[in-house]
Amino acid sequence: MKRFTTSVLVVALGLATSAAFAGEIDNVTVDGTSASNVSQGDNSHALQRIGVAANSGKIKDSTIYAGNAQNRANGANAQAQQDIGVAQDGRIRNTHVVAWGAQNRATGDDSLAVQEIGKAKGASSSLDYVNVFGTNASNQAYARSKAEQKIGVAE
């Protein structure tokens, strides 16, 4: 009987894990206010994700706060990516994304800074009944670098 119980537990855990791969944020408040993420040194990569649903992701009936969140990568070939309220290969519906004063910065030669706020990306992406507030959001790259900022985008 013990062997059977263990098998059932493993199957149950496996099902729970596989269900989590299709990311969904539903009827939730995510608060990443003043979150800070820093990576230092050449070839560093700082990735900050607040309220992100991956793999056919859905964000619905939720509020995501990331005011004054800071993400930094410092050094040659550094990459800083800040994703706030992003649904990958999915949709955002009836949701508020608040990222006032969010800052993303990559410093150093050949660096890349990418900031995405309130974005649905992928073939079936859409924003429905969504409010995105990116007032004073800042995305900066220095010294022969590239900066990309996308706020309230479905692509």
> Using CA atoms, how far apart are residues 33 and 89, in angstroms rounded to an integer?
25
Per the CB < 8 A criterion, the answer to whether 143 and 108 are in contact is yes
- Predicted pLDDT of residue 32: 94
Does the pLDDT value for residue 28 go beyond 50?
yes
Residue 18 placed within a domain: no
Q: How much of the chain exceeds pLDDT 70, in percent?
A: 86
How many structural domains is the chain composed of?
1
Residue 7 placed within a domain: no
Task: Report which of 96, 152, 148, 142 is spatially closest to residue 120, judged by C-alpha positions.
Answer: 152
Per the CB < 8 A criterion, the answer to whether 100 and 74 are in contact is no
The position carrying tokens 């004054």 is 68
DSSP 47-90: EEEEEEE-SS-EEES-EEE-TT-EEEEESTT-EEEEEEEEEETS
Phi, psi angle pair for 18, to nearest 5°:
-65, -30
Residue 9 placed within a domain: no
Residue 108 placed within a domain: yes
Residue 67 placed within a domain: yes
Residue 16 placed within a domain: no
Element (H, E) at 148: strand 146-154
Residue 116 placed within a domain: yes
Higher-confidence position of 22 and 44: 44
- Quote the pTM value: 0.83
Q: Which domain holds residue 111?
A: 23-154
Residue 17 placed within a domain: no
